[in-house]
Amino acid sequence: MKITHLPLSPATRQQGAMQSYYRWHAVVYDATRWTFLFGRNAILQKMVALNPGTVLEVGCGTGRNLKRLAGLMPDVQLVGVDVSSDMLKRATRASRRFSRRVLLFERAYKPDAQAWPVQPDAILFSYALTMFNPGAEEALDRALSDLPADGMVAVVDFHDTPFPFFRWWMGKNHVRMEGHLAPMLEKRFVTREKVIVRAWFGLWRYILYIGVKRNPDLMST
């Protein structure tokens, strides 16, 4: 009997690539990423100032941001979702102290993913969206449907680089660095704050973005 394998969809391939990549990178993630994932504390501070009641972090990884948010906002309810079980194991450990306020889900974030037990007032994407290749547009569409009318999105991520070799190297590490996130965000959200910052003497730039869901009642046709 001939077994025919159906081709995997691009979204399924992306999820498989993340699970394999983070199987090993999860081990060294927290010890290494502080050297180049800049702006994470800054975006958390901006979120704290806006004081959301419930925050969903998409691609929460090892739980580094969830743990900090739980410490900074004593009443906030947090939900973390990630496709990598290896990263989530670490997130479970990191957030143990706050386990009553932190719910974690092993799931790909996509339009047809199951609903969350609580509706988020704010959604955080911290160095996750540039790894959704493909899937960033779909993830932002899902964010729109998860948020209430005045819900907030907060993003910190790589923006771009003037160096083709570096862009290629980041691509090898599943990161797309082509300045593509800003227009995707601006298409869907009303921009409250957008800052582009140089890192490592201009080797790359990263983006900090806060946006509010467009209220369909107020949108012109």
Ligand X SMILES: C[S@@+](CC[C@H](N)C(=O)[O-])C[C@H]1O[C@@H](n2cnc3c(N)ncnc32)[C@H](O)[C@@H]1O
**Interface with ligand X, residue 157, by CB under 6 A:** no
**Interface with ligand X, residue 69, by CB under 6 A:** no
Q: Residue 164 burial by CB count (10 A; 0-12/13-18/19+): exposed, middle or buried?
A: exposed
Query: Can you tell me the distance from the alpha carbon of 132 to that of 151, in angstroms, rounded to the nearest whole number?
Result: 22
**Interface with ligand X, residue 109, by CB under 6 A:** yes
Amino acid found at 84: S
Based on CB atoms, which residue is closest to ligand X, 150 or 178? Answer: 178
Q: Which of 76, 123, 128, 136: binder of ligand X (CB under 6 A)?
A: 128
Query: Can you tell me the distance from the alpha carbon of 162 to that of 199, in angstroms, rounded to the nearest whole number?
Result: 12
Q: Which of 77, 84, 95, 161: binder of ligand X (CB under 6 A)?
A: 84
The interface region with ligand X, picked from 32-40, 43-51, 114-122, 188-196 by CB under 6 A, is 32-40
**Interface with ligand X, residue 22, by CB under 6 A:** yes
Query: Can you tell me the distance from the alpha carbon of 15 to that of 34, in angstroms, rounded to the nearest whole number?
Result: 24
Do the bridges between strand 204-213 and strand 189-199 make them parallel or antiparallel, or are there none, so unpaired? antiparallel
Q: Which residues contact ligand X by CB under 6 A?
A: 14-15, 18, 22, 33, 37, 40, 59-61, 64-65, 81-84, 87, 108-109, 126-128, 131-132, 135
